[in-house]
Amino acid sequence: MRRAVCPGSFDPVTNGHVDVVSRAAALYDELVVAVLVNPGKAGLFTVDERIALLRDALVDVPNVVVDSFQGLLVDYCRSNDIPVIVKGLRAVSDFEYELQMAQMNRELAGVETLFVPTAPQVGHLSSSLVKQIATFGGDVSGLVPKAVHERLTAHREQGT
Ligand code: PNS
């Protein structure tokens, strides 16, 4: 079975993530979307909330599995027998750091990285920009899945 992992913080999932994950899922038998558990950095959403929002957003992509991981990504790949990491590239500015990580992950564990260029319509999206816009009452309804929009609105109304 051909498997790959698409890792990230997903705080929260955006339409850009959905684009990359859905297109990458078509290339593999199973695509694992793995949410990084980072004890040193509290996000807006808990890891459990991020996982639930990802599952909801990707419900129509049958070969996607959503999971979480802590520590090195290559250790997660080794433990789960996953030989490929999938990363979305929005712009040249993403490339330098992503290339460095791809080379390091290959050196550490022989894990390859596949870069998927995002669709141009979502190339400007990032979770942090979405959060910033939503915090100040901007309209993000066209940038994130419906459930994420609802949760962001709830956060703003609660002042969190
Ligand atoms: O969505 P993000 O925050 O850009 O995702 C970054 C992520 C989770 C892919 C990256 O930080 C990562 O792989 N973290 C796990 C720790 C690790 O393996 N570090 C070494 C990378 S060479």
What is the tens place of the pLDDT at every residue in 81-134? 999 999 999 999 999 999 999 999 999 999 999 999 999 999 999 999 999 999
Decide whether any atom of ligand 1 lies within 6 Å of the 88 Cβ.
no
CA nearest ligand 1 atom 18, residue: 72
The question of whether 127 is a catalytic residue gets the answer: yes
DSSP run (H or E) holding 76 = helix 73-79
DSSP tag of 118: P
The Cβ of residue 136 has, within 10 Å, a number of other Cβ atoms equal to: 8
The structure's pTM equals 0.97
Token pair 């959503």: residue: 66
| Rounded-to-integer distance, Cα 59 and Cα 54, Å | 8
pLDDT at 158: 86
| Rounded-to-integer distance, Cα 101 and Cα 94, Å | 11
Of 90, 131, 149, 151, catalytic:
90
Domains of the chain (ranges plus CATH)? 3-123 (3.40.50.620)
Decide whether any atom of ligand 1 lies within 6 Å of the 73 Cβ.
yes
Report whether 122 belongs to an annotated binding site. Answer: yes
Q: What is the pLDDT of residues 52-85, one digit of tens each?
A: 999 999 999 999 999 999 999 999 999 999 999 9
Q: How far is the CA of 46 from the centre of ligand 1 (A)?
A: 17
DSSP run (H or E) holding 53 = helix 47-57
